[in-house]
Chain A
Amino acid sequence: QQPVQSPQAVILREGEDAVINCSSSKALYSVHWYRQKHGEAPVFLMILLKGGEQKGHDKISASFNEKKQQSSLYLTASQLSYSGTYFCGTEINTGNQFYFGTGTSLTVIP
């Protein structure tokens, strides 16, 4: 039930781009993205509620491909503040079947 994220870890230089993928073996009804800095609580980034939806703010955006049961998070022109672990959360069917992925560690270096 837990979605699979890839890659597990990525190291970037400031200004580089990254893509984090989240895939599920089950049909998805929504996808959330959260970022967690070391020793802190996860913080909400965005939610995608329907297939084909794309969202973004600042230089972080995401897409939701309902047919492929996957979502991707795009980070462009990365900044040092983007470092952290990114989690996708997926709603399977309706109701409260909500699962987080195992996370992707992103490190941005100067």
Chain B
Amino acid sequence: NAGVTQTPKFRVLKTGQSMTLLCAQDMNHEYMYWYRQDPGMGLRLIHYSVGEGTTAKGEVPDGYNVSRLKKQNFLLGLESAAPSQTSVYFCASSHDLAGADTQYFGPGTRLTVL
């Protein structure tokens, strides 16, 4: 089992460019999450999904879009990157709701927007 994987591991963008981060899990989990981690801010939830074809906004959704076309994949898109989106992005998945179950995290994607 690979668990939760993220692609790419590192990326540098120029302001205004777009990109998609891919998260994949092989644990057949229903719930998937995208977080961003900034120094001193902990992990903040961007968007989440409670099942294939569903998405919902988290704490800091502005500037991001997501899609969950397949149960095992959760994509995070930045349509027009801004320097404020420089961060480390973590994907996570869980069998049950976030509050009631363990979240398994991917290795992270370090994104720099110049």
Number of interface residues of B (CB under 8 A): 24
Q: Are A42 and B90 in contact (CB under 8 A)?
A: yes
Q: Is B2 part of the contact surface with A, judged by Cβ < 8 Å?
A: no
Q: Mark A1-32, 1 if CB is under 8 A from B, else 0.
A: 11000000000000000000000000001101
Q: Are A95 and B43 in contact (CB under 8 A)?
A: no
Q: Is A49 part of the contact surface with B, judged by Cβ < 8 Å?
A: yes
Q: Mark B73-114, 1 if CB is under 8 A from A, else 0.
A: 000000000000000001000000111111111111000000
Note all chain B residues with C-beta closer than 8 A to A30.
99-100
Q: Are A44 and B43 in contact (CB under 8 A)?
A: no
Contact of A102 among B35, B41, B98, B105 (CB under 8 A): B41
Q: Are B44 and A41 in contact (CB under 8 A)?
A: no
Q: Are A100 and B44 in contact (CB under 8 A)?
A: yes
Contact of B100 among A34, A40, A43, A91 (CB under 8 A): A91
Contact of B59 among A1, A32, A42 (CB under 8 A): A1
Would you list 13 pairs from A and B whose C-beta atoms are within 8 A, ordered by A residue?
A30-B99, A40-B107, A40-B108, A41-B90, A41-B105, A41-B107, A43-B105, A87-B43, A89-B103, A91-B99, A96-B56, A98-B99, A102-B41
Note all chain A residues with C-beta closer than 8 A to B101.
47
